[in-house]
A and B are shown apart, each in its own frame.
Chain A
Amino acid sequence: MTYRVHIRVVPRAGLLDPQGQAVEHALAVLGFEGAGDVRVGRAIELAIDAASPEAAEAAARKMCERLLANPVTEDFSLAVEG
């Protein structure tokens, strides 16, 4: 079975995120009040052939730990579809 996996990678909380700060500033300039704590990360989507959703999630987790996220600076979360 093929599972669609949605992965979010964001800068670790507490770590300086200059992109997030720039976006936050731009939002304020545009008049969007009350938007704060902006973090800019990346979204990765992929399809995994696996026997179960659990197996797909385990595989995706390994991919994140090994390549898709930097354990020093980033946190990730993932969701398996279907």
Chain B
Amino acid sequence: MVRVAVVRFPGSNCDWDAYHAAENAGAEARFVWHRDTDLQQADVVILPGGFSYGDYLRSGAIARFSPVMQAVQKHAAAGGAVLGICNGFQILCEAHLLPGALVRNDRLTFVSRPVWVRVERTDTFCTSAYARDTEMRIPVAHGDGCYVADDDTLRLLEAEGRVVLRYTRGENPNGSVADIAGVSNAAGNIVGFMPHPERYADPLTGSDVGAGFFRSIAGWIPGGATRSIP
């Protein structure tokens, strides 16, 4: 059974949702406190949404230096899977585990609503359950979600097919360059995106279109090829 560690920072608030979605999909989930350096043999680490350290300085900037992030860096360097959702994506960018940065939404307002996104990379541990170019409507909830990167980085991301999620149907909620909602590293074992599939992973909360991310994780074979679970 795939072991999922959900990291809790002071200010994380989507930790239980991520835990629940992972368990529901058939993975074995546990929480890891930000001061811990033991990931409890996790195959997949999830950095959940929230406002770690009150978003002081910049979103994710302080969390990046948490003791647990050293363990996450090691885990990722060894090929372990890491998913950052919303604040988790911001932390991964601040930690330079993913390229680019997330800055203030272009209209300065906090955006909290479901938006249309398209899954463009499906050979990762967290997207393999989806067919390429699947479109779905899942919630975003962020004030600092405008993805930016320099031109060389953007060219590389597009050329290597590393844009995992893209806002579609004219729904870019934050001014992100090229409508980018989420990216991966080259190997695909590190993924970050702004939308919250864990909030749409159970019919109880209105929709379960996001459950596929967690089914992907539950069906992931660590160190092996990805396989999809329908």
Q: Which residues of A pack against B, CB within 8 Å?
A: 11, 15-16, 18-19, 22, 67-68, 70, 72-73
Contacts and interface: CB of A to CB of B under 8 A. Distances in A.
Nearest to A72: B101
Given A18-B175, A67-B61, A72 B105 contact: no
A15 B103 CA distance: 10
B43 interface: no
Interface size bracket, B side: 20 to 34
Interface string B158-175: 000000000000000001
Contacts, number: 36
Contacts of A70: 58, 61, 94, 101
Contact of A73 (B65, B101, B175): B101
Interface of B: 57-58, 61, 65, 93-94, 99-101, 103-108, 146, 148-150, 175
A70 B65 CA distance: 14
Given A72-B150, A73-B101, 14 more contacts: A16-B103, A16-B146, A18-B104, A18-B108, A67-B57, A67-B65, A68-B57, A70-B94, A72-B93, A72-B100, A72-B101, A72-B148, A73-B103, A73-B148
A71 to B, nearest CB: 9
Contacts of A73: 101, 103, 148
Interface of A is mostly: mixed
A18 B106 contact: yes
Contacts of A18: 104-108, 146, 175
